[in-house]
Chains A and B, each alone.
Chain A
Amino acid sequence: MASQQLAKNFKQSVVAALWLSFLTMPLMVIRVDTVEKTITWRWMHLLWMLVGSFVLALVWYFLMDRRDRGGANDGNLNTEAAPSRFSIWLNNPRVARPLMAFGLLFAVAFPFLFSMYQTNILISALIYVVLGLGLNITVGLAGLLDLGYVAFYAVGAYAYALLNYHFHLGFWAVLPLGGILGAFFGILLGFPVLRLRGDYLAIVTLGFGEIVRLVLQNWDAFSFGPSGISNIARPGFFGVTYSVSQATTYIYYIMLAFVLLTIFVTARLKDSRIGRAWLALREDEIACQAMGIDNTKAKLLAFAMGATFAGFMGVVFAAKTTFINPASFTFMESAMILAIVVLGGMGSIPGVILGAFLLMLMPEYMRAFSQYRMLLFGATMIVVMVFRPQGLIKARRKIYKVNTKPAGQA
């Protein structure tokens, strides 16, 4: 049986490889310059394509067979599979607590152990952890696909940059303001899209993100256009000014505190009344309404909560880089944050954290692959959706156990 299956997969893969090579032939092989009237032929690419697509097709069909035979993994987010031995071991408090303590200790000691360059990379990763957790509220918990999330990030960043430029307001004064502005814009976006279903919502939020970026790019008098704003002040500490490396360490600790706070807040939110309302909203909007949940309020809150974190992070981002321009806030950024949430596992806090570290640190340490980064992101999003829609670490639903022992026997 198995060999028959293998032969079938082999044949299918050969067909797939030939088909994909035919498809990609013009774009991969031929390159024309219509001004110089020259044509470059790159036949080597065709060979790579044949071999590569054959191998990928083989893997694809193998995984597809496994998926179809498994049955449990049919894209349904709710099927409860038995937890693996690893996750049981990891969830044992005697293992988990020392592990967490060690992780925290390592995080606290990090700037003293490694160079400023490494610390800077880690700050970016931490920023994306918070962004991912924020988007996780909107997408993972409430099931509202927001493709313009980066707009709120931009709002926070520009709020700090402009207030600092015009009024010399400091980091700590603008930080809460950034969050509030983010929430305000979240509600502003939320109102018109309340009545829309998932896919419309995706497009409108995408359009909104683009509008914000285009306005920032074209309204020179307000945002200084494509050239952006430079010389933004780093965060201060009661009038003490730091050198660059000290400031980096300082921002690192601010971010670390922020991450811990965000984890705490989102974890508590998830099991709260409003968090359960979001989950209900995600599963079935009509049933949710029938149960007496105010859909409008729940949706607006999800948008606002998610946007708040993006607003905070915008302020930190501006303070960290001391320079911002609209090019930092393109759709690709939104797509990347979404990829973090999807890859890590929608609704799962440890998953999103893992996703952020993976997606942010991998390109840093694999510079050679950096131009293939977005290509891999795209492919990953498809593969994850097809084979593991619950993400790397699956979100766990809280289980309430009811004691069914009859009262008399107690």
Chain B
Amino acid sequence: MEYFLQLFFSGLSKGSVYALIALGYTMVYGIIELINFAHGEIYMIGAFTGLIVAGLLTALGWPALAILAIAVVVAMVYSGAYGYTVEKIAYKPLRNAPRLAPLISAIGMSIFLQNYVMLAQTPDFLPFPRLIPDLAFMQKYNSFLGTSDLLIIVTSIVVMAALNFFIKFTRMGKAMRATAQNRKMAMLVGVNVDQVISATFIIGSSLAAVGGVLIASHMGQINFYIGFIAGLKAFTAAVLGGIGSIPGAMLGGLVLGWTESFATGYVSSDYEDVFAFLLLVLILIFRPAGLLGKQRAQKV
């Protein structure tokens, strides 16, 4: 039972990070129907920014939780700025191009950012300081739920609740939903679509940065390549839940996290990534619209 709970919570914390990254994919896809391949790299850049902030503040001798909070905020700002810039350079000029064109430039952007970080920092793994202390009241649950897992889960819930509020009730959130439903129509009623797209990229990227810093602190090391696999898996989560649907991305992240956690716990730990991709292939064959997505007829 304890083993089960341990797998359950590690799956939950992993899944909530996937969900945080998946939100970026799904929001961008909902609005411009593009798979933002560079999104995983934005997550990685968020983690690196967090590391740099943490390194600077640790040298100044700040308390760990304050460092964590500041690292998350700075990483969010920088990742948001990166997301904004990536859209302006690689996607905006191609808005009226054939579908394959922005996809290929997105792959190019992903390769570029990976190598940029590799050259600017290092190709090796960098140690990431443990910013999450072991809280005293968590002592008796430690056998199956660590403090960092708990913190990741709680933060994700808070962030997602905030996002839901933003999408449902603010002016920009409404403009986003309108653009997602019909871009031309939204333009006609006075929505500044360029602004909406930029906002979507910034928000999605900041969410990924939250996930990046939290998971890096949990894992204890990062390198320039972490964004690739994490991005792929988060995309799997987004497709799993139904791409374009925000609750879908959250659900998909959790399902994927649990699948991985239980499969590695009960079947074999060598094939962790294989399970994720198999799940993706199976979902696409049997339910291409995803768990919460609606099957829509294609317009001609």
Instruction: Tell me which residues from 308 to 339 in chain A have a Cβ below 8 Å from any Cβ of chain B.
Output: 331-332, 335, 338-339
Contact present for A203 and B48 (CB under 8 Å) = no
Contacts of A202 on B, CB cut-off 8 Å? 35, 103
Q: How many residues of A contact B (CB 8 A)?
A: 66
Say whether A27 contacts B52, CB under 8 Å: yes
User: In this assembly, does A381 line the interface, its C-beta being within 8 Å of a C-beta of chain B?
Assistant: yes
Closest to B29 in A: A199
Question: Is the CB of A195 closer than 8 A to any CB of chain B?
Answer: yes
Contact among A34, A67, A203, A378 for B54, CB-based, below 8 A: A34
Cα distance, A372 to B274, chains bound together (Å) = 31
CA distance A16 to B272 in the complex (A): 42
Contact of B108 among A23, A196, A214, A385 (CB under 8 A): A385
In the bound complex, CA of A74 to CA of B107 (Å):
20
Chain A residues near B89 (CB-CB < 8 A): 382
Please tell me if B104 contacts chain A, counting CB pairs below 8 Å.
yes
- Residues of A near B236 (CB, < 8 A) are 203, 207
- Report chain A residues within 8 Å CB of B115: 372, 374-375, 378
In the complex, which residues 119-139 of chain B have their Cβ closer than 8 Å to any Cβ of chain A? Answer: 119-122, 126-129
Given contacts A64-B93, A75-B94, A335-B111, contact A143 B300 (CB under 8 A): no
A157 to chain B, nearest CB (A): 20
Q: CB distance B232 to A206 under 8 Å?
A: yes
Report if A200 contacts B (CB, 8 A). Answer: yes
Determine whether A377 belongs to the interface, using a CB cutoff of 8 Å to chain B: yes
User: A80 an interface residue at 8 Å Cβ cutoff?
Assistant: no
Chain B residues, Cβ within 8 Å of A22: 81
Is residue B100 contacting chain A, with contact meaning CB distance below 8 A? yes
Q: Does A32 contact B (CB under 8 A)?
A: yes
Q: B298 within 8 Å of A by Cβ?
A: yes
Query: Do residues B112 and A32 form an inter-chain contact, with CB atoms below 8 A?
Result: no
Which chain B residues lie closer than 8 Å to A74 at the CB level? 96-97
Residue B281 CB within 8 A of the other chain: yes
What are the residues of chain B within 8 A of A332 when measuring CB–CB?
111
Closest to B57 in A: A32
From the candidates A19, A192, A218, A386, name the one contacting B281 in the complex (CB within 8 A): A192
| Residues of B with C-beta under 8 A to A24 | 116, 120
Question: Contact between B288 and A207 (Cβ–Cβ < 8 Å)?
Answer: no
Task: Tell me the nearest residue of chain A to B123, going by C-beta.
Answer: A371
> Known: A27-B49, A75-B94, A214-B271. Is A203-B105 also a contact (CB below 8 A)?
no
Contact A192 B103 (CB under 8 A): no
Q: Within the assembled complex, what's the spacing in Å between the Cα atoms of A225 and B119?
A: 29
Contact B48 A27 (CB under 8 A): yes
Instruction: Establish whether residues B59 and A37, one from each chain, have CB atoms under 8 Å apart when the complex forms.
Output: yes
Cβ–Cβ < 8 Å partners of B109 in chain A: 378, 382
Q: B98 contacts the other chain (Cβ, under 8 Å)?
A: yes
Q: Residue A379 at the B interface, CB < 8 A?
A: yes
Q: 22 A-B Cβ contacts within 8 A?
A: A23-B81, A27-B45, A37-B55, A39-B56, A39-B59, A67-B93, A75-B96, A75-B101, A76-B97, A145-B104, A192-B285, A198-B99, A204-B281, A211-B274, A218-B271, A331-B228, A338-B104, A377-B108, A378-B111, A378-B115, A381-B108, A382-B109
Apart from the given pairs A202-B103, A211-B278, 19 other A-B contacts in the complex at a CB distance below 8 Å: A23-B81, A26-B78, A27-B48, A27-B120, A30-B56, A31-B121, A34-B127, A39-B59, A76-B98, A145-B100, A145-B104, A199-B99, A200-B284, A206-B232, A214-B273, A378-B113, A381-B104, A381-B105, A385-B90
The residues of B with any CB-CB pair to A shorter than 8 Å are 33-35, 45, 48-49, 51-56, 58-59, 78, 81-82, 85, 89-90, 93-94, 96-105, 107-117, 119-122, 126-129, 228, 232, 235-236, 239, 270-271, 273-274, 277-278, 280-281, 284-285, 288, 298, 300
Q: Shortest 9 CB-CB distances between A and B: which pairs? A: A32-B55, A381-B108, A378-B112, A75-B97, A378-B111, A207-B277, A385-B105, A375-B115, A218-B270
